[in-house]
Amino acid sequence: MSAQEDEERMEVAEDQNIEDAILEDASDEEDKDGEDNQTTSNGGGGGRSKAKVYLPGQALDNDEELVCDESAYIMLHQAHTGAPCLSFDVVQDPLGDDREEFPLTAFLVAGTQAARTHVNGVIVMKMSNMNRTQREKDDESDDSGEESDDEDVGGDGKTPHLNCALIKHAGCVNRLRVTTFNGTQYVASWSEMGRVHIYNINEQLAAVDDNHACRTYQQNKVGDGVKPDFTFSGHQKEGFAIDWCPTTRGMLATGDCRRDIHIWRPNDKGSWNVDQRPLVGHTDSVEDIQWSPNEANVLASCSVDKSIRIWDCRAAPSKACMLTADNAHESDVNVISWNRNEPLIASGGDDGVLHIWDLRQFQTKTPVATFKHHTDHITTVEWHPKESTILASGGDDDQIALW
């Protein structure tokens, strides 16, 4: 490697400094921003005008800036990973469900989209000591005391913490998903290089759970030598669709931008057997996949071909498509989400429309509900894990909507 190449690599590494990622209390920065933005310049008149409430879809002037209303959030923190991430997933931990008592802890996995292909990674994270940031009315009179506590740098106090363990990844991570299988935490990652990898992340989770172990992991650059437990190179193109089966642990489905869906099944050797025969049905890029939350071997997929399809993997790949809504949207169908409690699927597309499908009436090819709120492509949708009547959607219009 030449000196110039070595210098360039060091420069890129500094730009993507994952190990030095920090988690900070957003209220400190937002308090200052909020004070500065309570009034705004009023052209050349030199006067001041009050900040206005932003309405979704409203155009911003070049000198206008959106400022977060911190009072809308019970807890709001900002995490910096050093590189943008297209995908993340929450790791199931033994700390219990429905946690509401502060401070909170969460384990996450994210995949980077770095400026250079060779500096991408899978980041295993532990966010801890995350305290409530929304102030109670009774606390507003004690601002001075609060500020002194917030300045607790290096102590436990109210300073949130972020530990990261990086795994070197070949290419940008298009999307990743996490599962627990046979006592091991696995992450499956879709690479822009057209390959799907499965990593055992138990070592990384143990590292981020201990400050000393995390420093040792980072200093020794352990992640540079981590290899995937399994890699599938049978897809003809890169892809984004990927989902672990919740009813048959270790079973995986992946879909690519060509139109192919492959089914992965775990074997008794601690590896996976991937059916080389793709499911036949879609005619364009597969954008999203969702396994049924209660029926083994059943999954749904959506595509750029405007269709939503229901599959039964027990059938031969050429006959596995059981139900089809051919023109589910007016254009690309980007995302789907399968309700965990009711036979409902939500879908979002490039048309900015959110459809709700009842699987008991799927053969009619007509949604039971349609919502038009987003002004641009819908890029994410997800049902509440326990409340069957609540879901969230997000899109290229920079909005997240709760329904």
pLDDT of res. 28: 47
pLDDT of res. 68: 86
Max CA pair span of the chain: 76
pTM: 0.86
pLDDT of res. 86: 96
pLDDT tops 60 at residue 331: yes
Most confident of 1-5, 26-30, 332-336: 332-336
Give tens-digit pLDDT for 170-210: 999 999 999 999 999 999 999 999 999 999 999 999 999 99
pLDDT of res. 61: 86
Q: Specify the CATH number for 234-403; select among 2.130.10.10, 3.20.20.120, 3.30.930.10, 1.10.340.30.
A: 2.130.10.10
Residue-range domain boundaries for the chain: 68-134+154-175+199-231, 234-403
pLDDT tops 60 at residue 153: no
Q: Counting every residue, how long is the chain?
A: 403
Give tens-digit pLDDT for 46-104: 455 577 888 877 888 888 888 888 888 999 999 888 899 999 999 999 999 889 999 99
CA dist 84 and 77 (Å) reads 17
288, 305 in Cβ contact below 8 A? no
pLDDT of res. 69: 87
β-sheet bridge partners, residue 392 = 382, 402
pLDDT tops 50 at residue 307: yes
DSSP, residue by residue, 328-397: SSSS-EEEEEE-SSSSEEEEEETTSEEEEEEGGGGGGT--SEEEE--SS-EEEEEE-SS-TT-EEEEETT
Report the percentage of the chain scoring pLDDT > 90.
Answer: 73
Residue from 239, 224, 12, 3 nearest 116 by CA:
12
pLDDT tops 70 at residue 303: yes
Give tens-digit pLDDT for 233-287: 999 999 999 999 999 999 999 999 999 999 999 999 999 999 999 999 999 999 9
pLDDT of res. 70: 87
pLDDT tops 90 at residue 151: no
Confidence of residue 141 (pLDDT cuts 50, 70, 90): low
Confidence of residue 140 (pLDDT cuts 50, 70, 90): low
257, 289 in Cβ contact below 8 A? no
pLDDT tops 80 at residue 38: no
Averaged over 379-396, what is the pLDDT? 97
CA dist 273 and 375 (Å) reads 42
pLDDT of res. 143: 55
pLDDT tops 60 at residue 45: no
